[in-house]
Amino acid sequence: MNVSASAPAGAPTANTAPAAGSAHSSAAASGTDAARQRLALAQAALLSALVAGTPVPQGFDPARVRLQTRALADKRASVTAKVAPELPRILGDGFRPSFIRYAQVNPSAGGARRDALSFARARLRAAESSGDPAGDLTRQQRCELTAWVRERTGPAPRPRGRLRRLAAAARARASVLG
């Protein structure tokens, strides 16, 4: 699984107050702007370590960061299982561990449904690459997961009949909105 590709390359990894010196001169300019800038960098560095696998910012306990990372991934797995219950059904007991491995280095794709789809694609890629510990799907699981992804990304076979075509178009619109 190519996990590093989706980690943000430009994510800040500096310590918790990297802008303290440079922001000083502008502090008087406008109220909270300097404090906001320092806080923004500190929070982005921590969050990036937690959800994108970038290095733990200086001063944080790495074991605690790992625990928090795991807790966030666990929460995301639960949300994914709720919006896409087919995934835990197809993957069985393997769903949660494989989702958590995925989530720890792949930030949320924006929205729970897109997240579920990104995970399913990554899971299939992992299953295709030999020697990957996550590549242990059965033939049936691969088929079902591939079908699940295809149903949500198209192109679907053109349904025959006007009513069926309308229903398919409505479904497609609903999935875009969702």
Partner 1 sequence: MEHLGMGIGWRSEIDTALDRLPGIDWVEVVAENICPGHIPDSLRRLLDRGVTVVPHGVSLGIGGAERPAPQRLAALAERVEALGAPLVTEHIAFVRAGGEMTGSPLLEAGHLLPVPRTRDSLEVLAENIRIAQDCLPVPLALENIAALVSWPDNEYSEGEFLAELVERTGVRLLIDVANLHTNHVNRGEDPAAALDALPVEAIAYVHVAGGVMRDGVWHDTHAHPVTEPVLDVLGQLCSKAVPPGVLLERDDNFPPPAELAAELDTIRRVLTRTPQAA
Residues at the contact surface with partner 1, assessed by CB under 8 A = 8, 10-12, 16-17, 31-32, 35-44, 46-48, 50-52, 58-61, 64-65, 67-68, 71-72, 75-76, 79, 107-108, 110
Contacts of 127 (CB under 8 A, 6+ apart): 134, 135, 136, 137, 141, 142, 145
Closest separation between CB of residue 148 and partner 1, Å? 22
Scored b (16 or more CB within 10 A) or e, 143-178 reads ebbeebeeebeeeeeeeeeeeeeeeeeeeeeeeeee
Closest separation between CB of residue 14 and partner 1, Å? 10
Nearer residue to partner 1 within complex by CB, 40 or 172: 40
Residue 111, H or E segment: none
**Residue 53 to residue 44: CA distance in whole angstroms:** 12
Nearer residue to partner 1 within complex by CB, 76 or 137: 76
Closest separation between CB of residue 24 and partner 1, Å? 12
Number of helices (H), then strands (E), belonging to the chain: the values are 8, 0
Closest separation between CB of residue 83 and partner 1, Å? 12
**Residue 24 to residue 149: CA distance in whole angstroms:** 50
Contacts of 144 (CB under 8 A, 6+ apart): 90
Closest separation between CB of residue 121 and partner 1, Å? 19
